[in-house]
Amino acid sequence: MTDRKLTQLERIYPHLRLLARVGLLISAGVLIAWMIWGTRYPSMQASEFRFSAVQLQKFDSIIFATAQVVPKQSIVLSTAIEGRAIRVFVEAGQVLSENQIVATLENPQYAMQVLEQETRLLQQTDNVLQAKLALQALDQEQLREIKDLELRLSNVSDDLARNEELFHAGVVSESQYRKWEREKLNLEQTLEARSGNYAEQRRLLARQIGDLEDSVSEIRDQIELAGAALESLTIRSSIDGVLTSFSVEVGEVISSGKELGSVDNLEDVFLKSLVDEYFLPALVEGSSVSIIEGENLYQGVLTDIGKNIVEGAVEARIEFVGLVPDGLAKGQSFSVRINTGSSREALGLPKDDFYSTNQDQQVYVVNVEDRVALLTNVSLRDAGGEQLEVLSGLQEGDLVIVSSYAEIQPSTKIRLRGELNP
């Protein structure tokens, strides 16, 4: 009996050993998987973090933005034609007065073309004078001849009128009377032809004079434009202001229209701010604005709101009220707070350490059931004080890690151990 039991154990022993090996392999696989998962996603004690739920909160309608200095009066320095710099009188950053020369350029070929145009103008002006003299001579000659014909015609007409009764009475012969008639008719035809010829000659001369005068006017306009272009080779400031971004060297060839720099009147400026279109309904002209420069606070007013939305933002114009900072520069940035004077409800979070250590607008949202925190893309706005407004990415009731993220390994998921204390 005992021998029979030993034989049965010997038969099943290999199967038991195989099952044991399979069990060891499964345990090892589970252990390895647990180790891999634990390595991929860090595991941290929940007590190491502070949590806060997303809640509806009352927000003062204060819009936080940045704004840049824009001069109300600014000009761009350039030249209308290409030229080579021969003298430079100023440098960037210098304060200029109105009409002050900045640099001079030269273009000998263009100057020669202007001289040729001036010579052509003199010739055409002389042609106009000669044509007018010819018209005057024509008037004098033709008018004299026409006057003579008219006088002769008048005399012949008088002779006919005086001798008509004598002709009918038989005192004046018919041949003599018909001679006077033929002479009158001939004079009338000659006068008509001479008058027509004179009118045509005068019309042609007057047209020639008109064409010449048009040519003179056109040449003068061209010379005026060319003169202005030559004048542009003397680059000067048309306003008082500060010269910025100016870099011209003697000998440098400057192409036409090239921007050489700008002159900005920084005594009279405004601030331009691009405000997210989300806040457009809250923007009201006349709203007070706090303008912040370091520890200094200045006052302003919202004077204009743009009509167009460009890349998700609307342009707002802010004017200083009262004191204006010294040493302003074009493009200088300020932080601004636009107070719309109203309040509204929106989702919010406390402005805790996570906000200062998280530059990517991402937060860890906790799934309490799975005990994991998932990295989530959000959009937050500093609402001032201790509040953050949630613009997108979170819902009411979401549990968020609000303590510092500085000690968290870069990961899209964190496993939480221990008790959660929201």
pLDDT tens digits, one per residue of 337-356: 898 877 778 898 988 888 87
The residue with greater pLDDT, 351 or 35, is 351
- Rounded CA-CA distance 87/5 in Å is 118
Residue from 153, 162, 161, 158 nearest 183 by CA = 153
Residue 282 is given by DSSP the state G
Region of 245 on the Ramachandran plot (φ > 0 left; ψ -120 to 50 alpha; else beta): left
Amino acid 355: pLDDT: 83
Amino acid 21: pLDDT: 67
- Give 36-60 pLDDT, tens digit per residue: 444 467 888 888 888 899 999 887 7
Give yes or no for residue 315 having a pLDDT over 90: yes
The separation between CA 73 and the C-alpha centre of its own chain, rounded to angstroms, equals 15
Highest mean pLDDT among 33-37, 149-153, 315-319, 408-412: 315-319
Would you call 18 exposed, middle or buried from its count of C-beta atoms within 10 A (0-12, 13-18, 19+)? exposed
In DSSP notation, 118-130 reads: HHHHHHHHHHHHH
- Give 217-246 pLDDT, tens digit per residue: 999 998 888 888 888 899 999 999 999 888
- Rounded CA-CA distance 416/43 in Å is 6
Three-state secondary structure call for residue 390: strand
- Rounded CA-CA distance 49/352 in Å is 11
For tokens 């406390």, name the residue.
Answer: 350
Residue range 84-103: mean pLDDT, rounded: 92
With 0.85 as the threshold, say if the pTM is over it. Answer: no
pLDDT band at 159 (very low <50, low <70, confident <90, very high): confident
Q: Are 378 and 363 in contact (CB under 8 A)?
A: yes
Give yes or no for residue 77 having a pLDDT over 90: yes
Farthest CA pair distance, the chain: 199
Nearest 5 degrees, angle CA 70-CA 71-CA 74? 125
Q: Are 271 and 336 in contact (CB under 8 A)?
A: yes
List for the chain the helix, strand, coil content (%; round to 5).
Answer: 40, 35, 25
Give yes or no for residue 122 having a pLDDT over 90: yes
Output the average pLDDT for the chain.
85
